């Protein structure tokens, strides 16, 4: 197994393990994303796919992981911001449609991400009529 495959396997195992808003687990995944930054495109895709495939009750946890990586102060933060920024609106809309009850938590994350992702289309989420 190549280093890339091993890194993605380890990350997927951690993503599959997280079942609640556990800061230590989220921080571990964030550090792993930083360590595996040479595979940033694959890491971002893995996390995005994880959020899309997650059951409704776990989508918010996946969003928290993405949020933590985007806000991390490592050297690769801009790269991850760009990679996640390309998909973030679709992820939020999908999650909002499936998890209406946690909308206020999403709103607080949206507000914090707006400051980090310049020229973001995130504000349009607030005007979606479903």
Give, for all 130 residues of the chain, the pLDDT tens digit: 899 999 999 999 999 999 999 999 999 999 999 999 999 999 999 999 999 999 988 988 999 999 999 998 777 888 999 999 888 888 888 887 776 656 667 777 777 777 666 555 555 554 444 4
- Our CA angle for 99, 8, 76, nearest 5°, is 85
pLDDT score, position 46: 98
Looking at residue 77, what is its pLDDT?
82
Q: What pLDDT, on a 0 to 100 scale, did the predictor assign at position 19?
A: 94
* pLDDT computed for residue 117 by the predictor: 63
**What does the alpha-carbon distance between residue 118 and residue 100 come to, in Å, rounded to a whole number?**
26
pTM: 0.76
SS3 state of residue 5: helix
Per-residue DSSP letters for 28-96? HHHHHHHHTGGGHHHHHHHHHHHHHHS-HHHHHHHHHHHHHHHH--STTHHHHHHHHHTTHHHHHHHHH
Q: Which fold has domain 3-127?
A: 1.25.40
Is the distance from CB of 10 to CB of 29 less than 8 angstroms?
no
What is the reported pLDDT for 103? Answer: 64
Which of 71, 60, 65, 54 has the alpha carbon at shortest distance from 104?
60
> How is residue 39 written in tokens?
């595979």
Tell me what pLDDT residue 54 has.
93
Q: From CA 6, how far away is CA 127, in angstroms rounded?
A: 41
Domain locations in the chain as residue ranges: 3-127
């Amino acid at each position: 197994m190549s280093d890339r495959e091993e890194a993605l396997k380890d990350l997927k195992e951690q993503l599959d393990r997280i079942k609640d808003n556990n800061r230590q687990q989220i921080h571990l995944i964030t550090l792993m994303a930083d360590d595996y930054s040479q595979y940033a495109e694959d890491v971002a895709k893995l996390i995005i796919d994880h959020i899309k495939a997650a059951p409704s009750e776990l989508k918010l946890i996946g969003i928290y992981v993405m949020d933590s990586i985007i806000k991390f102060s490592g050297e690769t933060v801009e790269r991850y911001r760009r990679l996640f920024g390309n998909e973030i609106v679709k992820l939020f809309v999908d999650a909002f449609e499936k998890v209406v009850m946690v909308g206020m938590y999403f709103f607080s994350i949206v507000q914090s991400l707006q400051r980090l992702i310049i020229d973001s289309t995130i504000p349009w989420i607030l005007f979606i009529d479903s």
